[in-house]
Structure 1
Amino acid sequence: MSVQSTRGRRVKAARTNNLLYLYIAVGVIAVIAITALVVLLTRNTAEITTPTAPVGRTDDGFYYKGNPDAPVKVIAFEDYQCPGCAFFTRNLEPILERDYINTGKVQFIYHELPLTNIHPNALPAAEAARCAGDQGKFWEMHGQLFANQSIWSQLNSPLNTFSGYAGIIGIDRAAFDSCMQAATHREAILAAAQSAAELGVQATPSFSVNGQIVDSNRLFTAIDAALRAAGR
C-alpha cells in the first residue's frame, strides 16, 4: 500500500469525522434553540389568565375585576407600552388579585393612559384590549399584551401580532381585525387619557385609591389605610 493512499484515507476519515462533529454541534444548537423557544412561549402564555373575581364594565365604559360593592376602588392608570406597568402587572397585580380583589376588598378598574408621545404602540395596544373585550376577553388580552411587551413594542406596526394574540386567547380573529381596522375604541381611549390628565395623573403606572392618587410604591399602603378607614 502506498504512502499516498494511506494519507488519502486518513484525510477522508478526518473529513468524515469533522462533518460528524459539525452535524452533532448543529443538532445540539437546534435542540437548545427549540427548548429556549418552548420555555419562552410557556412563560409568556402562562401569564394569560382569566380572573376568578367578578368582571365587567363600569357605567363609563372601563373594565374592572372585583366586587363592584367593594369598600375600596382602585383605578389603575396605565400605558401598555410602559415598562413599569408591565412590571406591576406581572409581579404586583397577582398579589393584589390574590389578597384584595378575590377576597372582595377591592374593585380594580383599568383606565387607559397611552403616552403616545413616547410610546407609539400604546394606543393600538389599548385598542386591542378593548376589541378583545368586545368578545369577553379583555383581561386575557390585557395579560397577553403585558407578557409580550418586549416583542410588540419594538414593531413599526404591531397589528398582525395583536391579531395573532387574538387567536391565542380564542376569539374571532376576523371580528377582532375588523374592530382594529375601524378604530372602534380609539375615541373612547383618547377621552380616557384626557380625563386622566385632568385628574392630574402624569405618569404611569399611577393609581387612584378611593380618590387618592398614588404611585405603585405606595399602592398597598394606601389600600390598607382605606380598608381601615372603612372598618375592614
Structure 2
Amino acid sequence: MANDPKKPQSKKGQQSQSENARIRQRRAERRAEEAAKAAQSGTASGGAGAARTAERRREREQEKQRRRLTSTALIIGGLVLLIAFVVIVTNIPAEAPIPDSTSTRYAGLQIGSTEQGYPRLGSVTASVQVVEYSSFDCAACRNIHDQLIDRIIERVRAGSIAFIFVPRFGTGEIVNGQGAAEAALCAGEQGKFWEMHDALFNWQGIYGNQAFTNNRIVAGANALGLNMSAFDGCTRFDNTVPILETARQQALNAGFVGTPAFTINGVQPVDENGTPILTADGIIAEIDRRIAEFGTTAPTGAQPQATLEATLPAEAAVQSDATPEAASEAEMTPEATPES
C-alpha cells in the first residue's frame, strides 16, 4: 500500500530529520570555524610578509649606507695620500746647476738698474744702450741668449755699450715663467740677477717644462749663496710684481707682443724690408754700426740713457742719421710695429 505524503510522519522519522538538521548545522559551524581560521591565518601570513619586506628594505638601506661610507673613506684616503705625495715631491731638493761660466762672466762689470728696476750691465752714460725684452719661459729667448750674451758682455766690458734686460713672462710655453722672473729680480736685490738669469735659461734647456719648479728655484738661490730669508721674503710678498707689470705695459705700448724684442738707443732695429732683426748676428751688426757711429762714450754734454720705449721701425732710417745727441733722446711712439 503506497504511503500518503500528507500522512503525518512517525515519531521516529521526526527524530531522524532533527538529527540530520543538527549534523548539517555542525558542518556549517565547522566550515565557518575553518573559514575564520583560514582568514586569521592569512592575515597573520600577510603581516609576517610585510614585516619581512620591511626588514629586507632596512637591510638594503644599511648596505647602501655602508657602501657610501666605504667610498667616502676611500676618497678621503686617496686625497690624503695625494697631498702627502705632493708635499714630499715639492720638498725633494731639485737639481739646480749653475753654469760654470757664470762665476767669471760678469766679474768686474758695472752692474745696476734703471729707474723702472730693470737690471743693467755697463754704464748709464754709454753711447749705445741696448735693451732686450725677454722672458725666461720663451724658448726663442733662450736661443738668442745663448748666441748673444758673450758677445754683448764683450762690448759691455769694453765700455762700448750698456745692456738692459726688461723682464717679461707668459710669452713662452714653460710653466711658472712669472716665478722665474720674480726669482731673478729677487736675486738681483742681492746683486745676483745676472747669475740667476743665466741659470734660468740653462734650466729651461735641460729640464723643459719642469725648469721652474719652486724647489728648483729655491735650490738655485741656495747654490748662488743668497740670503734665503731675504730671498723668500722678496718672492713671498711679491716685491717685484710692480716691475713686471711696468715691463708688461711698456712692451705693449711699444707694440712688442712677443719676445724677444730689442731696441738700440730707443730704436727697434729692422732690415731693409722693415722687418725686426732678431738674429744674434743681425743684432750684433746693428750694435757695432751704432758704436762706430757714436763712439764708445757719450759726447761731451750728452747723457744717453736708453729710453725704454721704442721708435716706429719706419723711423729707423731717420734715427740712424741723427746726431749722437738726438739719438740718445730717441723715443718710441706707442704705435710701434709689433713683432712678427
Q: Normalising by structure 2, report the TM-score.
A: 0.52
Structure number with higher strand proportion: 1
Within 1, Cα distance between the matches of 2:96 and 2:247? 32
Corresponding residue for residue 177 of structure 2: 122
When residues 133 and 231 of structure 1 are mapped into structure 2, their CA distance, relative to the original with a 3 A threshold, is closer
Within 1, Cα distance between the matches of 2:96 and 2:210? 18
Within 2, Cα distance between the matches of 1:176 and 1:191? 21
Paired residues of 2:200 and 2:212 also in contact (CA < 8 A): no
Within 2, Cα distance between the matches of 1:224 and 1:116? 29
Paired residues of 2:156 and 2:162 also in contact (CA < 8 A): yes
**Residues 156-177 of structure 1, C-alpha deviations (whole Å, 9 max, x = no match):** 9722210100011111123212
Candidates 91, 100, 113, aligned match of 1:46 = 100
2:210 alignment partner AA: L
Within 2, Cα distance between the matches of 1:142 and 1:212? 24
Within 2, Cα distance between the matches of 1:159 and 1:102? 34
**Residues 95-147 of structure 1, C-alpha deviations (whole Å, 9 max, x = no match):** 1211x111001100010121357444221111000111111111111111111
Corresponding residue for residue 285 of structure 2: 221
Corresponding residue for residue 58 of structure 2: none
Corresponding residue for residue 27 of structure 2: none
Question: Alignment partner of 1:225: what SS?
Answer: helix
Corresponding residue for residue 234 of structure 2: 179
How far did residue 155 of structure 1 move? Answer: 3.0
State the aligned residue count: 191
Q: State how 1:197-212 maps to structure 2 within 5 Å.
A: 197-212=252-267
When residues 143 and 76 of structure 1 are mapped into structure 2, their CA distance, relative to the original with a 3 A threshold, is same
When residues 224 and 173 of structure 1 are mapped into structure 2, their CA distance, relative to the original with a 3 A threshold, is same
How far did residue 229 of structure 1 move? Answer: 2.4
Within 1, Cα distance between the matches of 2:158 and 2:265? 17
CA-atom RMSD, angstroms? 2.3
Question: Alignment partner of 1:94: what SS?
Answer: helix
Within 1, Cα distance between the matches of 2:283 and 2:257? 16
Question: Alignment partner of 2:132: what SS?
Answer: strand
